Amino acid sequence: MPDLKGPGPSWLYFAFGIGMWLYSTFDNVDGKQARRTGTSSPLGELFDHGCDALNCTIAGIVEASAFGCGISWQTITIIFFTTMTFFFSTWEEYHTGVLYLGYVNGPTEILTFAVLACFASGIWGPGIWHVPASQGLPLIGSLFPATWELMDAMLAITFVAMLFGHCMVCCWNVYSACKEQNRSFLATLPQIAQYAAFSVSCYIWLRNSTTILTNNHLVLFLITAGTAFGRIVSKIILAHLTEMPFPSYTVQMVPLAVGAALSWLGLFTPRTELAFLAISAMFVVVAYLHWALVVIERFCEFLGINCLSIRPRKHRVKTQ
C-alpha cells in the first residue's frame, strides 16, 4: 500500500505476517545451518547482522502499513524504535563481545507480536489499532490523554519498555564490561552521538519538510535513512569482527545532515526537495552496495571462501 494506511485486502496483511515469520525463522536458523555445514565465519555474522540492520527499516514500514499508520509520525516512531534498539545492541556487542538478548527480545517475542498484529489486521482490519485508547485498553486507558488512539498508547508503552528494558540494560552491560577490562565507561558514551546525529537529522528534515509528509514521499525518505543506518551499524559490526576502533562517521550521513540543514533554513521547495531526496537515495544505496561488495570480496579472499556457495572441504583446507 503506497499510503501505508489502507485498508487493503485481507490477504495482503496475511502476506505481511507470513513474510515476517519467514524472516524471523531464517534469521534464527542461519547460524545453526552454518555450524552444521562447517561454514561459520565472520562474513556470516556480518551478513546476518548487516541484513538485520537494513531490515529494521523495511520491517518497520511493513508493520506500520499493517497497523494502518499511514504517512504519519506514528510510522516514523516505529522506525525510530527499531533502529534505536538495534543500534544499542550493536554498540553493546562491540564492547562486550556478546549480543545479549533478554527474556523479551526483538528476534523472537517482538517479531512474534508483529506477525500476530499482521494477522489481526487481516481478520479485523487495521482500524482496530485506531480506536480510542480508553476502549482498546479498558484497564489502563484512562492513564492516557482522551485524544489518544490505541496505537498512540501502544507506542508510548513500547517506548518506556524499550528505554528501561533494553537501552538501559545495554548501558549496564557495557559498564560492566568496561569495569572488568579497566576501561572508562564514560569514554564509550560519545559513541552514541553517531546515532543521536542520525536521529536528529531525520527529525529536523521531516519536521521542516515541504513535501515528504504531505505528498507521500515518506517511504523514499525512510529507504534513504534506513540504508544510511544500515551502513552505520554494519561498520560497527565490522569493527567488532576485525578488532578495529569504533567507527565514528560514515559518508552516508552527509545527505541527511545537508537535507536537515536545507529544510531547517527553508531553502527547499517541494520540487527541489524531492529531487534532492531522490539523488540522496541513489547516493546512499550505491555507496552502500560498493562498500558491501568490497568488504565481501576481501573477506572471501582472506578466508578462502565463496560468498554464496560452499567450496569443497579439501579446497577450503588447501586455500587456508
Count of CB atoms within 10 A of residue 221's CB? 24
Q: Does any domain span residue 115?
A: yes
List the beta bridge partners of residue 44: none
pLDDT at 80: 96
pLDDT at 3: 87
Q: Does any domain span residue 5?
A: no
Q: Does any domain span residue 4?
A: no
Residue 259 CB contacts under 8 Å (≥ 6 apart), including other chains: 201, 205, 273, 276, 277, 280
List the beta bridge partners of residue 132: 149
Residue 174 CB contacts under 8 Å (≥ 6 apart), including other chains: 91, 92, 95, 96, 185, 188
Task: List the grid coordinates of 294.
Answer: 568490497
pLDDT at 165: 86
**Catalytic residue selected from 49, 95, 130, 240:** 49
pLDDT at 40: 83
Q: Does any domain span residue 260?
A: yes
Count of CB atoms within 10 A of residue 315's CB? 13
Whether pTM > 0.85 for this model: the answer is yes
pLDDT at 317: 45
Average pLDDT, the chain: 91
Q: Does any domain span residue 287?
A: yes
pLDDT at 220: 96
Q: Which residues of the chain have pLDDT under 70?
A: 102-107, 313-320
The domain tally of the chain equals 1
Q: Does any domain span residue 125?
A: yes
pLDDT at 318: 44
Closest CA to 177 of 237, 96, 91, 101: 96
Per-residue CA distances from 197 to 78, 108, 113, 254 (Å): 18, 29, 30, 11
Q: Does any domain span residue 142?
A: yes
The alpha carbon torsion through 45, 242, 97, 105 (nearest 10 deg) reads -30
Where are the strands (E) in 19-138, listed by range? Answer: none
Residues 41-90 have pLDDT tens digits of: 888 889 889 999 999 999 999 999 999 999 999 999 999 999 999 999 99
Q: Is 49 known to be catalytic?
A: yes
pLDDT at 50: 92
Per-residue CA distances from 187 to 39, 94, 190, 192, 246 (Å): 36, 14, 7, 11, 11
pLDDT at 31: 77
List the beta bridge partners of residue 149: 132
C-beta contacts of 275-280 below 8 A and 24+ residues apart? 277/212, 277/217, 277/220, 277/221, 277/224, 278/220, 279/255, 280/224, 280/255, 280/256
Domain that holds residue 286: 10-319
Closest CA to 28 of 105, 85, 103: 105
**Opening angle at CA 213, ends 83 and 71, nearest 5:** 65
- Contact predicate 240/93, CB 8 Å: yes
pLDDT at 320: 45
41 φ, ψ to 5°?
-160, 165
C-beta contacts of 141-147 below 8 A and 24+ residues apart? none
